[in-house]
Amino acid sequence: MTSMTQVFYRAPDIVAGFADRAERARRSVVHLHGAGRGVGTGVVWQSGGVVLTNDHVVAGTGGRLRMQTLDGRDLPVRVAARNPDLDLALLHTSADDLPPASVGDSSRLRVGELVFAIGHPWGQPWVVTAGIVSGLGEAETRNGQRVAFIRSDVRLAPGNSGGPLLDARGRVIGINAMVFGGDLAVAIASHVVERWLNDSQGRRARLGVGVQSLPLPEGVLNGRSRGLLVVSLEPGSPAEQAGILVGDLLLHADTVSLEQPEDLHRALQHTDGTLRLRLLRAGDIRVIDVTPGAES
């Protein structure tokens, strides 16, 4: 009887605490607009106006985006980086006082945990819905990268895309991306988002080269299975000045073997001078020294 009484009196406190965490999390959620209409949701991921959303939210807007904040501000926002394979986009706004979300470690998430989402379904602003984690898994992107995702029964609708999936403590553990099978919501795991964000920011700021992982035919390079294909170069960047070309296949950066974009980011973060790149160009192995810059 005592145990039941304790549970009875604690229940309102638990509910109130959940509501408090949801209210705090809503302050880090923005409503994205393009061409005069709502297109989705974004999450203030870092201080300094760094916002994350889905790539499909910004696709078709021509980069003409604005966002509304919970406190009523209407702000311009620009697209800083996109990854269609991961369905992620990095946005920047000039407002540097937006409260960043608390980000949790999705790699420790378990099936059955309570989660909730915040977004703008059908244009209704800052709606909160709740559910449980129903599954955890991986999917392979078009470039062969394995990506962790989270399935839940949180109710989502058009307008929720790009918004946060949060755990019971109010920490973001995913970016909501789609509804599968009519009732299961799919979110990109936060540790995948963090890895891409760190790689994207590091690459743009230090080297100025865009890459994607490329599978290699068996036997091409003594059993090596993957390399990093250069798909873009920033004009005037250290990579361009050193002679890197679009279409080069990067194999090593100093002693780091380059198979995934995060490998290049790791090499950039640990160099304190010239980075020696070993690459394949038109069937020939070449070595090019690049001095990463402090800014893009």
Q: Is 87 a catalytic residue?
A: yes
Q: Is 3 a catalytic residue?
A: no
Catalytic residue among 28, 106, 152, 161: 161
Q: Is 55 a catalytic residue?
A: no
DSSP the chain: -HHHHHHHHHHHHHHHHHHHHHHHHHTTEEEEEETTEEEEEEEEEETTTEEEE-HHHHTTTTT-EEEE-TTS-EEEEEEEEEETTTTEEEEE-S---PPPPPBP-GGG--TT-EEEEEE-GGG-TTEEEEEEEEEEEEEE-TTS-EEEEEEE-----TT-TTPEEEETTS-EEEEEEEEETTTEEEEEEHHHHHHHHHHHHHHHHHT-EEEEEEE--TTTTTT--EEEEEEEE-TT-HHHHHT--TT-EEEEETTEE-SSHHHHHHHHHH-SS-EEEEEEETTEEEEEEE---S--
Catalytic residue among 31, 55, 87, 106: 87
Catalytic residue among 56, 102, 257, 296: 56
The catalytic residues are 56, 87, 161
